[in-house]
Structure 1
C-alpha cells in the first residue's frame, strides 16, 4: 500500500486553547522588533543555538517498572542540535519504545496509480469556487493578511488563490523560519539511532483510515467549502501575539528549563484548523472523530501493557497532549500510577 498524505500537516490531538484578543487589541500590539505607537521598541527573544540537552524525562512508575516519557514541542530552535544522554541511556536499557499516537490517512493504490493523483492533490489547495483570498475573508482579516504576508512571505501572487487554511499554514511556516524557529524539527533521528543501536521492541500506536478509491474523495474535497476562516484568523493571531512566547517555550525546551515550560502560557492549539477538515462532511464520513478517540485509548492500553511487562519503557508525547487536566499523565495518575516530573 502506498500512503499519500491528504491531510494537511495538522496535529491530530487538541491542546489547550488560548483566548484570542480583540481585533483592536491585536492592532495595538507591535510585532517583536518593531516600534509601537508609544515609541517603545519591542525586542525579540534570542533563540538558543548549538548543542542543547532538551528537557528531562517524566517518569510513570508501577512497582519496579518504569515508563520514561519525553515531552516534545513544536516549533523548536532551528539551529539547535539536541543532545540527550538521558534519553540514550534509557533506550539502552529499555525493552520497548512506544511511538507517539497518530492517525494516518492513506490511499490503497498501486505506485503508478498514486502518481497520477498528485496533480489532483495539489489542486485541493485552491478555493473550489475560484475566489481569491480577498473575496473569501473579511476586509479586516485580509488587511491583517496583507501586512503579515509582506513581512514573512513577500510577493507571491499564487497564494492569493489558495483556501484560507492552506494560506494560513504557509504563512505560519514562513514566519517560523524568519523567527529562528523550525516547525517540524524532530527529535526522532537521535531516538531512531539509539533504537538501531540497542534494538528494543518498537510499538507503533496508529489508527489508519484507508481510502480504497481516492478519486471521488478528491473530487468531493475540491468542491467542498471548508469552515476554515477561524483557522485563518487564529493562525494570524498566533503570529501577531505569540511569537515571543513560542521563542521562550522553544528555549525552555532546548535548555531543559521545566519550570519555565510549565509556567509559560500553554501552546496554541490547532483545533480550528483541524476542525475545518475533521468536522466537514467529508471528515465525518471518513471517521476522523472516532479515530481520535480510538488512538487515545490505544496509547493508554499500550502504556499500561508496557508497565505490566517491562522493567524499562521509553515513550514520547507532545507536551500539549501529555500535560494538563485531560492529558495522558493525568489519566495515568488517575489509574493509580506514580507520576514524577523531571525535577522531582
Structure 2
C-alpha cells in the first residue's frame, strides 16, 4: 500500500517542489556563464527571502531539485539565520498515514506491488504507442540496463524509475544534501525543527488498492513527457541546478522548466481513485497547512528559518503572495539588484542576505 500511494503522493508533491517559476525560454546568451555540466566543489546557494511583520521575521531558503551531485553546499547566511532563530520549519510534504495494524500492513504489501504492474500482466510494449516504446528501449538501455521486470510496470512507475536513473547518471542529485545540512545546523545550534507535512489518512487501504488497480490511469502522456525531459531537458536541468548552486536567481527566473511534472501530476489527480481518496486537492491543502504553521511561527518567534520550493518564492501566486496580501512585508534577496526581482520585490527596502555571523561548517 505504501509503495503505491507513496509514489503517487511523490508525484503530487512534485507540483510543490523543485520547480522554477514559469518563464519563456531563455536565449543562449543569457546563460552563457553556466555550462551544461554540473558544478562541483563548495557552492553558496541562493540568498534568503525575508518575511516580516511587527518585529517578527522569517528567513526562507528556496530549494529546487535536482541539484549538482558533487557540490558541497556551504552558506554562511543560512548558518547565521539558523543560529539566530528559535524554530526551523521543514519543507512542506504529504505524510501518509494508513489506518491498519502492523500485520495488516504486511498483508497489504503483495497487493501494493501487484498494483504497480499493468492490468493482465501487459507489457509496456503492449500499452505504449510503437514510436514511444522505441524511444523507451533506447533510454532504458542507456540508463537502466537489463531489467525485465520493469517492462510490466505501469507507465507512470516506469517513467519515474527511468527519470531517477537518468538524473543520477548526469551527476545530479534529488536533494544535493541540503536537508541533511539544515538538520545538522539545527542540531548544532539546538534549534527545534517543525514538520510542515500535511497528514493524509487512508482509512480503508484495501479499498484504496482496489480503486487504484481499477482506475485506468491515463499515464501515457506522463511517460512521453518524461522521455522528452530526459532526451531534451537534462542540459537545462543542469543549468538550473548550477544557477541554484551559484546563487544566480536571474538565471533561475529565465530558465524554463519542463511540463513533465504537471502532466504526471494530472495523471494522478484526474483519476477516479484520487478523487475518492481526496488526493485531487492535496496541493492546496499542503499550502494551507504550511501557511498555518508559518503564521503561528511568525507570531511566536522573533526569528524563524524555513524552506520552500523556490517556485513558491519566485511565482506571483506562490505561498508568499498570500502572506503579502495579509500585510506581511516580503523581501527578495536580490530586490535591489534588479528591476525584475520577481513578485517578492514589491514592498522591499533591503536585501535579506546581509547577515553576518559564523562561517558554515557543515557540508554534504
Instruction: State the TM-score, normalized to the length of structure 1.
Output: 0.85
**In structure 1, how many angstroms separate the alpha carbons of the residues matched to 2:263 and 2:214?**
20
1:50-106 Cα deviation digits (max 9, x unpaired): 222221111112242211101011001111222222212111111122222222222
Question: 229, 237, 241: which one pairs with 1:238?
Answer: 229
- How large is the RMSD of aligned CA atoms in angstroms? 2.5
* Structure 2 residue aligned with 1:35: none
Deviation, structure 1 residue 173: 0.7
Alignment of 1:1-344 (within 5 A): 6-8=5-7, 9-12=10-13, 13=15, 45-266=36-257, 268=259, 270-343=261-334, 344=351
Deviation at 1:132, TM superposition (A): 1.1
User: Is the Cα–Cα contact under 8 Å of residues 55 and 258 in structure 1 kept in the other structure?
Assistant: yes
Structure 1: where are the runs of 5+ without partners?
21-43
Q: 1:217 to 1:298 in 2, by over 3 A?
A: closer
For the residue of structure 1 that corresponds to 2:94, the secondary structure is strand
State whether residues 209 and 286 of structure 1, in contact with CA within 8 Å, keep that contact through their aligned partners in structure 2.
Answer: no
Identify which range, 105-114 or 316-325, moves more after superposition.
105-114
CA gap 1:259/1:292 in 2 versus in 1, 3 angstroms: closer
Give the Cα separation in 1 of the matches to 2:22 and 2:229: 11
Gap regions ≥5 residues in structure 2: 26-34, 335-350, 352-364
Poorly superposed stretches of 4+, deviation over 4 Å: 2-5, 14-20
Match of 1:28 in 2: none
Q: Does 240-249 or 77-86 show the bigger shift? A: 77-86
CA contact (8 A) 1:6 1:106 kept: no
3-state SS in 1 of match to 2:121: coil
Contact 2:44/2:75 (CA < 8 Å) preserved in 1? yes
8 Å Cα contact 2:229/2:258 also seen in 1: no
Cα 1:222–1:18 change in 2 (3 A) is farther
Which moves more between the two structures, 159-168 or 265-274? 265-274
Cα distance 1:324–1:18, how it changes in 2: closer, same or farther (>3 A)? closer
How far off is 1:143 after superposition? 2.1
Distance 1:297 1:115 in 2: 33
